[in-house]
Amino acid sequence: MKAAVFFDRDGVLNEDIGYLYETAKFSWIPGAREAVKAVNDAGYFAFVVTNQSGVARGLYKEADIRALHIWMTEDLAKVGAHIDAFEYCPHHPKASVELYRTSCTCRKPESGMITKIMSRFPVDPARSFLIGDKFTDIEAANGAGIRGYLFEGPNLQHFVNSHLSTG
């Protein structure tokens, strides 16, 4: 069993500009790549769990999310960092795209994305935590039986380092 850090994406790893799916508009939060590397170097799993209702709203496709996550993976590799798994929820209860119109267990504040990862990887919940920028992220963490920390900036590396020693 291994400790893990679950990162929300928009507002934690990258600037939240609303419905981000294009690499040209992507901007890392200060210290984000270094934070992921610190998690890797500490021997923790690094995961991303992100609501992506832009798919349900018809603003972009699931393939766009996957392409952005591939780009993020390649960019993180430049600093020797990696994400062990990405999970995203494309659903929304009021979706304009009928295929994605549902109240699911993966959309935060539900904990389905976290528990799905925990069923695929040997995660030690007692030593794991989530970093989010909204209270719904913290709720999802609590629902999965892990701690949640609210990130309000400015530097993710400093924030992560302060919790790795206690996490």
**Rounded average pLDDT per 10-residue block, the chain, 167 residues:** 98 97 97 98 98 98 98 98 98 97 97 98 97 98 98 97 78
87 lies in a domain?
yes
Q: Which domain holds residue 100?
A: 4-9+27-164
What does 41-79 look like in DSSP terms, one character per residue? HTT-EEEEEEE-TTTTTTSS-HHHHHHHHHHHHHHHHTT
Per-residue pLDDT, 88? 98
Per-residue pLDDT, 144? 98
20 lies in a domain?
no
Looking at the 3D structure of the chain, how many domains does it have? 1
Closest by CA position to 156, among listed 48, 38, 59: 38
Give φ, ψ of 18 to 5 degrees.
Answer: 85, 115
- The reported pTM is 0.97
How far apart (Å, rounded) are the C-alpha atoms in residues 140 and 75? 28
19 lies in a domain?
no
- The residues assigned a catalytic role are 8, 10
User: What CATH number should be reported for the domain holding residue 62?
Assistant: 3.40.50.1000
15 lies in a domain?
no
How far apart (Å, rounded) are the C-alpha atoms in residues 40 and 137? 22
* Six-digit token string for 33: 């790549």
Per-residue pLDDT, 141? 98
